[in-house]
Chains A and B, each alone.
Chain A
Amino acid sequence: MLFRKEHFLAMFDEMRLGDRARQPYEAYENWFHSQDPARLNEKSQDAEKVFRRTGITFAVYGEAEAAERLIPFDIVPRILSGKEWRRLVQGIEQRVQALNAFLYDIYHRQEILRAGRIPKEIIACNEAFLPEMIGVRPPGGVYTHIIGVDIVRTAEDEFYVLEDNARTPSGVSYMLENRETMMQLFPELFQKVKVLPVENYPQLLRDSLAAVRPANCDGSPTIAVLTPGSFNSAYFEHAFLADQMGVELVEGQDLRVVDGRVAMRTTQGYKSIDVLYRRVDDDFLDPLTFNPDSVLGVPGIMDVYRAGNIAIANAPGTGIADDKAIYSYMPEIVEFYTGRKAILRNVPTWRCSEPASLSHVLDNLHELVVKEVHGSGGYGMLVGPAASAKEREAFAAKLKARPANYIAQPTLSLSTCPVLTESGLAPRHVDLRPFVLVSDRIRTVPGGLTRVALKEGSLVVNSSQGGGTKDTWVLDD
């Protein structure tokens, strides 16, 4: 595969085009320039206080002294026009349809392998593929119910999908709290600029989960959110979503299998659950089936699931669809199941398992991003242009030792969006994670989580690596 480098070089700013504001930002920019900068800085500090007080924090693994940290919040919104958004939604919805069709296929007839569109080994040798799911039909036929598609932009009309996050995407609570905070800080701004609301997400999530209840559940299903516990980095979000949906927040220690159903221990005895929105990884879900040391899951839940007596969102084994090795085949997957070309582009990807690709990657390490196939959260990756010669050398050794463990991508010139700094507005790179819900239909909330690399020039937006967030506006135009 060959890609033209210059394709990615020009940096696209979402707010400004030359000396003018781009159309979606016009109204905002007018408002912004009428504001007293000192007051904006004050508001920015208020925002931090709000987050601290409400306890919207996350834990950073391996940093004991900063056990609870805030994700920095920037008060300049990231704005998309209605038109831009509609196009994204088309692409996203096409993609999640393909993902669900792929998952059904891969755990049933495996047509896509028979057709030779993707190699068999990449499924057979993949840890994310769960043989326990073969032949299982999840309630409602849905595998991935909640998806957070990571999208980056490089030009006016160029959007790329970075990752599909089809297993347990997090961050939706920030989408909601960021909007809440913006509306508290700048109520007058929302009078001036018509922004589509996101706050019905918890209701939509609840509706979606209810819609995939097991067939034998008549009436209103009992729904619960399964969290690994209050020390998990995303605990705030788990509690937040359970609270907003009005459902129970449970841990593995609350659950057990009683009479063929998964039930939670209440003050009045055990009560069965119909739909479980789990925020625990596959491996920890059932110590009888997967990791026997897990205390986060429920012994025997897989048997209940296979018997069709509980819906689990997202379904076990969903990770096979957002694996980084599978990612590189997404254009083929979308075409195979929808019969159409993918609307959203994939970032060109070299699979280091292929000898020709490996040697290309090794030769061009200084301009590539190399990621672990199973890694996440920005850990274990190399950003070639930012790394020193020594770091690249060390990484090359790891690459040669286990090539199949890595993929490589060009360093995209991510779009920028201004953030408020002490010396005024300054451009920083952003990405976008819209959230999609799949059940009897697909629901996409107009907005998402915009992550921003707060360090000047940095391309890594992960919160665990010093990234921040912004409110994401989709205009009602």
Chain B
Amino acid sequence: MLLGRAANGLYWMHRYIERAENMARLVDTGHRLALTQTSAASDEWISVLTSAGAREAFEQEERPHDTASVTDFLLRDLSNPSSVMSSMETARTNARMVRTALTRETWESINEAWMALRRMLMRPVDERDLPAVLDAIKRETALIRGAFHGTMLRNEIFDFAQLGTLIERADNTARILDVKYYVLLPSVAWVGSPLDNHQWQTILRSVSAQRSYRWIYEGYEPTSIADYLILNRRMPRSLAFCYRGICDALEFLAEEYGARHQSHDMAAAKREKLRSASVSDIFEEGLHEFLKDFIRDNGALGDQIAADYRFY
């Protein structure tokens, strides 16, 4: 038996932990590019802000699109609800609310992560310390995940947490791809240009896949990169992987509760589409349209889960 409010808390706690981690990865990517190609650095930071869904909020104030302002906004700014610090605050508030559903190890790992990051992000981060801070964010969120996976019973609590993690992750991957979709569109003029290589790197690095990609694919083909991040079911941040996990979690819930809902059909349809589609189908439909629809449907699935399981 689980309270609807507790399911909601678990779901959002995990969405925000995932978000904090992805934010660190995005900032890392932006920073790396800003170091390697000074001329287009502000463009890169703009696309990082867009991927993070934070560009509009950032530009409400007059400030430069440079490393210091953008990283500060994405890591520390509490007026940005998706900054790492805001995400950790929200994740911890939710964890506190569902504390009775968590193992002591899980609660302590998130509480310690919150304390460590709060200390680290108390003052603006000096650029020299940025790599260490980003590593710390990734490490703390990894510790939370480790404690969670290592100690939690695989019951409904676990399933709602998984749903939060995977829906957030699918959303993040789709956004990163969408911001860069034009790079993946075949264009004779760009192939082989230095800009091109950096753009590949941006995409793969922001999902921690720059090495694993090369274990599987030969060269940097646009179709291969799209295939990897959308359809590859072994790649833990791909859309297909996320939807396999989402469907598994929903199936476990259906078994445990003996009831299926609309969210089951929605998730299954999306999974099926990701299983049967080929990259050329997607490119034919239009990559941008495909991703736009995906982001919208993914959000709708989250809302439907909230309704089906009485989050409110």
| Chain A residues proximal to chain B, CB less than 8 Å | 52-55, 229-230, 235, 239, 242-243, 248-251, 253-254, 264-269, 271
Contacts and interface: CB of A to CB of B under 8 A. Distances in A.
The majority secondary structure among interface residues of chain B is: helix
Interface centre among B1, B112, B160 (most CB of A within 10 A): B1
Contacts of A243: 99-100
B115 A265 contact: no
A55 B111 contact: yes
B156 interface: yes
Given A54-B108, A55-B107, A243-B99, A254 B1 contact: no
Contacts of B108: 53-55
A415 to B, nearest CB: 36
A52 B115 contact: yes
B96 A267 contact: no
B111 A266 contact: no
Interface string B147-165: 0000000001000100000
B46 to A, nearest CB: 36
Contact of A266 (B3, B96, B112, B160): B3
B104 interface: yes
The majority secondary structure among interface residues of chain A is: mixed
The 4 closest A-B pairs by CB, nearest first: A267-B309, A243-B100, A239-B99, A265-B4
Contact of A230 (B4, B97, B309): B97
A264 B99 CA distance: 18
Nearest to B93: A230
Nearest to A267: B309
Contact of A267 (B2, B93, B115): B2
B3 A254 contact: yes
Contacts of B4: 254, 265-267
Nearest to B115: A52
B259 interface: yes
B249 to A, nearest CB: 13
A55 B112 CA distance: 9
Given A53-B112, A266-B310, A267-B257, A249 B100 contact: yes
Contacts of B5: 251, 253-254, 265
Given A242-B100, A266-B1, A268-B257, 4 more contacts: A53-B115, A54-B107, A248-B100, A268-B259
Interface string B1-35: 11111010000000000000000000000000000
Contacts of A248: 1, 3, 100
A26 B99 CA distance: 41
A53 B147 CA distance: 14
Interface string B125-160: 000000000000000000000000000000010001
Interface string B79-116: 00000000000000100110110001001100110010
Contacts of A264: 3
B111 A267 contact: no
B37 to A, nearest CB: 43
Contacts of A55: 96, 99, 107-108, 111
A271 B156 CA distance: 17
B86 to A, nearest CB: 16
Contact of B1 (A229, A235, A253, A271): A271
Nearest to A241: B100
Nearest to A225: B100
A267 B107 contact: no
B257 A54 contact: no
B112 A267 contact: no
Contact of B111 (A54, A242, A251): A54
Contacts of B259: 268
Given A55-B107, A267-B156, A267-B257, A250 B96 contact: no
A20 to B, nearest CB: 42
23 contacts: A52-B115, A53-B112, A53-B115, A54-B108, A54-B111, A55-B107, A239-B100, A243-B99, A248-B3, A249-B99, A254-B3, A254-B5, A264-B3, A265-B310, A266-B4, A267-B2, A267-B3, A267-B4, A267-B156, A267-B160, A268-B257, A269-B310, A271-B1
